[in-house]
Every structure is written in structure tokens, then in C-alpha cells.
A and B are shown apart, each in its own frame.
Chain A
């Protein structure tokens, strides 16, 4: 085990990084450890843990804003929000079950560092769309801030966007300020039975581009959804509105030819929690799980190519924007093959897999040379000696 320093203040975090910087020692940045197996495996000289930077320091429901230490448990944040009928609209995924760590052990800093939004991503935006301000320590050990606590803010570069999803390779977050939103009053899910991927993506696309105003759109093949291919369309909001939109969805978008049923309340809620957490792939030991992002209408053809050239199983989220793919045997379908099947503009991330696999493959989509060079310069502008999570995003 490498030396772990559990920092209990921002100043301590800064001192720790400053001395690592002076000595050229590399540092693994950890929150509560729920997503440590996500990304390229790294070996560092020491480990900094942010769990001591915990606690909600500001919550003003009427201003839709919350601020918390980076190590604050997500459960604590979600409980405080729920008590006021609010939520994190980006619907943070809990990948504990998929990654083989522990569910329900995320920190808000880790959520921001990985930019992992759930099924509502396609309409509500990603984590990056909800981060208003950050305090952080860069790779030189300097404390800096960016953004603020107000939604409308164009003062200086929006470094919040850049830092969100940077997997701890640019800075150690110490405090996060984020936008929160009212939780929907009710929800329900329209389930379409026996629709193939192509029909599903077409219907989901039409629903997303219509007054149906759906907030989740997923498709599962028969093998993953007991009882046949199924599409799931989620309606959320105020009671009368959900009812009216259900009617519109059924009558105008779906039409009479497709068999549709409705799942309400708690059942709908847990259905989407399962999709959010990629539950159908839990417990498949040794598997490699990829998240593929494409233009939604390209999803069905990609699915077909994957079916022909791999023995993986996949389902669709975000109306086609994302495919989650599980491959049973590592090594069978290397990154090059998977990425070779992608349509133009698509990209693939290896989200879960055995350590050897993650070490051998490019976990994140490789970037074209000029862009990679630009990113390297951006990285150096925060972390000139490359001591923060070095190699994690490769």
C-alpha cells in the first residue's frame, strides 16, 4: 500500500500537493473509492483522500444551489435535497455494482470528476451542466477558484466545465457548488413491447423531439429484458401534465400498432435506477463493459455490427445516444475492434473490466494528434509535472 494522506482541510490538501510538486512525487486522488477501477490503472508514489473535506456548507432551496466539501457523501446530499423535494437533475449513476466496489459510496467530488450522468442526460444535461463553482488545488499545490454560486455567470473562462470529467488529472477538488432542481412530482414509464432497436430509436427520437417531453429513453433486447425486446420511455413532472403527455405519447407518437403498457411510481423509479446503474450487467465476473456514445440514429446499425462481430450484449440509453456493451471474455474484442465499428463522430470508453485489460487497452477514446497536443498543454497548465493521477485518462 502506498502512503495515504487523508486531508482534512483545503490548506492541508494544498500543502500535500505542494510538497509532492516540490519532490516530483505522483499522487493518486481519491474520494471514497467507489470508482477507483474506472480509468487506466495507475501507480503513484502516494495517495490523497478527500473524505475529510466533507459536509454541506450551503443549501438554499429557493436559489437552487448547494455547496459541499468534495468528499461529502452523495447519499447525504441526495437526502438533504429529497427532504426539500429537490434533486440533482443529471441523475448521477452509481457504478459501484458494475465496478465491483460498493454501491452508495460516492463522493460529490468523484461524481464531478467523472461527469457520469444518468438516463436524464439526454434532456437535462451532464454533470458539467450543473456545476456552478469549484475550489481546487492544482498540480502546483495552489488553491484556486472558478465559477461561483450563481447560474448566470460569464466572468472569466468557464474552468468548471474543463475540470468536470477530468478524472483528477488537472486538480484536486476541495469544494463543489452546484445547481439543484425541483424533483418531479410524479413519474411513470411507457413500456413498448416487441419493438426492435431501429423502431425503438425512431420512436424515442420522435418522442424526445415532441411535446411528450420524455426524460428517459432506453431499449433492451429480449436477452436482457425478460419477455422480449422492450423500449422504455419515462414521463416526469406535474400530475396533470404527465397524464396529458402520456396520452399524447400513446396516441400521436406510438400509435395503435405497438403494444404498450404503463409502469407507475415506485416501479418506474426502480426501473430507471436499474438502467442508471447498468444493473443488467452486474455480477458478470471477468466481463469488459464499454460505453459507446454516438449520434442516436446511428445506434441501431452499430448494435447490429456489434452483434455480428462480437459476442457481447448491449442495450440503449439516452434515446440512442449511448450503448452499454458487455463482452464476456476479455481479449476477445480489443479496443481497436470496438472503436473500428463506431460510426463517424462516435467514441467508446472502457468503463469496467479486469485490471490487466484496462492496462492493455486505451480506456478512453484516443484523440487526433493536434487535439491530443492541445489537451497535453491544457493538462500542463494545471499540472506541469504531471503528478496528479498520471495516466488515468489514457
Chain B
């Protein structure tokens, strides 16, 4: 991965930097030892590694502000970091910068049940929010499958999604406010518990800004009452087109399921071989459709969903009648990534979104690329909202396969854009897709975005080398690879 050339000036100020940081964050919050720094050298995109100059772990917003002023004065770059689970290299360090780790910001500051909000520090994990409120019957809706490890600060930066965002929205629809510290050390309160804050919607801009605009030191989220019931329907189809048609028919009939997931034949088989979830092996495609809400409503909608799929060549239909069964339906889907990891030395996970109606043709296209590159692929798909996760199987030890997998992945993402979709549905651009941005945006679009970046961070110190294509055309494209099952977060189910 090519990163911007390190700035000798910044590197030359190492001593001042360390002294300055130590004056701000006493004790063990300043990490310089190379062995300790190694823990921060990459994120969930483990193919790329880079030691930062130093890691600093502040505890207060004032410390963050002082650190940022110091970095601005010394022209040192800043890579904010939450749980380090980014799959696009968003938290990849830079050689001439610091990593600003938010792990000590781990407090739930206030839960307000009457107003249905929680004010938390950014280092609280996604699941940590739900844990803090579940005793009162509430939860935080966006549920990335990394939720035990990823932080709400990282979720805000990536605008993360989950299997339930079809009904409940992404992070951006569930965040009411943030406290942002700018590169000048200004602390600005954006949004808050009162809706529709005055001025421009900077909360909406900061969510999804991949750590390029400032450091988030507090987040106010919306919490929701936990649905009374959830039930799922598991349906096998003879063709991908029939499954896609069923998805369209369900939504077209006025039903928005809590989640609607699809797997293709290779993914079904990998999952069955791995955990034996009882998926139909003879199906070309499988749908898991989950309904949640009041029991009466769920039962009513289950009937309607079954009626819709029955008219659409469904092979086998199973409806969960207990919580155990519902979880069993999900087990194969949740095991899809590790299952694929078992049958292939390496795999590479993509994250494009397409208009749903184009699914059959996109799957055909992926199959054609698979033949062209002579690499297998398994597809899992957030079918309800068109977010596709093809898993490209390869073996990094075979000469040329890694490059072929990368070219294959880029072809898929370009095809997503060509049919009216986008490069990334939830994992972010990061370093990974930065150089594909020109396929989705023209220079005017990108320049407008760059000027917005400049409005916040004129000297480009926040998270350089991410999101925007490097000016040089020959920059290689970065990728998320999982090698020999040695994933960074092996225990996290992947969606």
C-alpha cells in the first residue's frame, strides 16, 4: 500500500512531540516502545501494517484538544483509532504521525430513558451501549457483527451498518449528536438531545467521515425499546433470480422486515459443511427473512411473507416457532465467513451496494469474473438493502493469486458502480477503495469533498492517505485479506 511520503520535518520533531505528549497525558498513556506500538500497526485490514511514531491514549476532551494543538503546531499527522476493527484500513497508522487511541474513553455518561437517548464516550463498544440499557428493555439498534469489539466512535466514523439496518437505519440515523475536537483544539458540540439542530447538519457530515474531520469525544445516540418478538423465515430458491424476485415482492407488498439476508449456493454449502444449520443444499439461493415487533404483528406478517414466497418458486420454507430455532436459522449465516475461511486458505471480502433489481445480472457478472480469474467466490448479501459481500477465495501462496483476487474485487466494485450502485455500503473507503473513488465520482465531485475536508482540516493532518485517491495514478489498490484463517478478530461472527 502506497501512503503519502513521510514528512521529514514531522519525523525530525520526534523528541518535541514525545515531550509535548507526556506533558499532556501523564503516565502510561504515551506509548513509544516498538513492541507495544506493534499492537497498533494495523486494523481489521491486516494486509497493511505501519508503525506510527507514537500512540497516545488520552482520557479527557481537554487532553485531546491539547494533543491536537500540539500536532498542528508540529505538523504531525493524527490517526484516530477506536477498536481497530476497520475493514478498509481506516485506522492504519502513518509513519509520520501519531495514533490517537480512544480506548480510555470508555464510559457511558448518561442514559435518559424518558427521552430515549444515551450519552456515551466514543470508546464504548457498540454492544456496550446495548448492555448498559438492556435491563430497562432498551437497545442500540445498529448492530455490526463486530459489535463486541468495535466502538461507537469507530461506528460514527464509518457510519456502520448491521443486518437490521433495513428497518432501523445505519449509524447516521441513530446518532443525535457528537462532541468534535478540531485540529485547532476547538471543542464543538454538534447536535444533541434536541432534534434538528440549528445551522448545517454537521452531525450528518461527521458521521461517515472516516476520521478525516476531527476527533469525536462524545456521542449521543437514540436508544429504542427492544422489540417484543422476533421470528424468522428460511426459504430456499431454485435460482438467484427467484430469490431476488421474492425480496422485491415482500418489500413491494408493504412489508419492511427487520432483516433480509441472502446466500448463494457456494455460501450455503460452505455454511452447511461447517455447522450443519439445516440449510437446503439443493437450493441455488437462500433467504433469511426476520420480522420483529409486537407478537400479533410478527405473526400476521409471517403469514403474509410466507404467502408471498410461496408464489415465487420457493423450494423449502421453514418458519421459526421458537427463539432457539430462529437463532439456528441465523447460525449458518453468521458462520458464513469462517465457513468460507475453512475451505480456502485466504479470502477477500468485498462490500459494494447495488440497486436490488440488478442482483441476478451482477451475480452473473461475478460468476464470469470468477471464470476469468479462475478463483471461486461465495456471496452473502444484505438482500433487503442491496449490500453485497462477495468473498473471493484464493491462496496467497500461489503466485499471482493475490493479485488476481485484487483485480477480481476491483472489477466487482466497478460493476456495482456501473449498475447504479456504490463502492462501499458499510465498511468505508479507507485506504482500500481510495483509488477506486474516481470510478464513482468525477473530479468536480471529489474537489467539492476535498474543500469540505479543508474547511475542517486545512493542513490535511487527520488520517491522510485515506478516502481520497492519491494524486499519483500508479498507487496500488489496497485490500482486505484474511489469511489462513488468521483473522485479527477470529471470534467475531462476520456478516
Contact = CB atoms under 8 A, between A and B. Distances in A.
B455 A374 contact: yes
B194 A347 contact: yes
Contacts of B116: 205, 208-209
A146 B420 CA distance: 13
Interface string A56-68: 0000111111000
A161 B204 contact: yes
B23 interface: no
Interface stretch (A46-54, A73-81, A137-145, A351-359): A137-145
Contact of A63 (B198, B356, B428): B356
Residue with the highest number of chain B CB atoms closer than 10 Å, among A117, A296, A380 = A296
Given A144-B448, A241-B300, A156 B429 contact: yes
Given A162-B200, A211-B225, A378-B455, A182 B445 contact: no
Given A62-B248, A128-B204, A378-B200, A154 B448 contact: no
A297 B202 CA distance: 25
Interface stretch (A15-23, A118-126, A263-271, A305-313): A118-126
B285 interface: no
Given A145-B445, A166-B200, A209-B225, A154 B205 contact: no
Contact of A165 (B115, B201, B225, B455): B201
B290 interface: no
B195 A126 contact: yes
A238 B188 contact: no
A37 to B, nearest CB: 19
B486 interface: no
Nearest to A393: B199
Interface in B451-467: 451-456, 467
Interface in B412-437: 420-429, 433, 437
A344 B83 CA distance: 32
Contact of B426 (A152, A157, A371): A152
A241 B426 contact: no
Interface string A323-360: 00000000000000000000001110100000000000
A128 B201 contact: yes
A237 B297 contact: yes
A296 B194 CA distance: 8
Interface string B224-262: 010110000000000000000000110110111000000
B82 interface: no
A148 interface: yes
Contact of B205 (A115, A129, A157, A209): A157
A129 B174 CA distance: 10
Contact of A154 (B197, B204, B425): B425
A246 to B, nearest CB: 11
Contact of A347 (B197, B354, B427, B455): B197
B252 to A, nearest CB: 4
B355 A156 contact: no
Interface residues of B, number: 92
A125 B169 contact: yes
Nearest to B301: A238
Interface residues of A, number: 88
Interface string A379-393: 111100000000001
Nearest to A167: B200
B452 A159 contact: yes
A224 interface: no
A153 B422 contact: yes
Contacts of B207: 158, 161
Interface stretch (B338-346, B370-378, B381-389): B381-389
A82 interface: no
Contacts of A142: 444, 447-448
Contact of A381 (B248, B256, B454): B454
Interface of B: 112-117, 138, 158-159, 161, 165-166, 169-170, 172-173, 182, 186-190, 192-205, 207-209, 225, 227-228, 248-249, 251-252, 254-256, 293-297, 300-301, 353-357, 382, 385-387, 420-429, 433, 437, 440-441, 444-449, 451-456, 467
Given A170-B200, A245-B294, A381-B452, 5 more contacts: A62-B248, A121-B195, A157-B209, A161-B207, A165-B196
Top 10 A-B pairs ranked by shortest CB distance? A161-B204, A241-B297, A182-B254, A152-B425, A365-B198, A381-B451, A62-B248, A377-B455, A62-B252, A244-B296
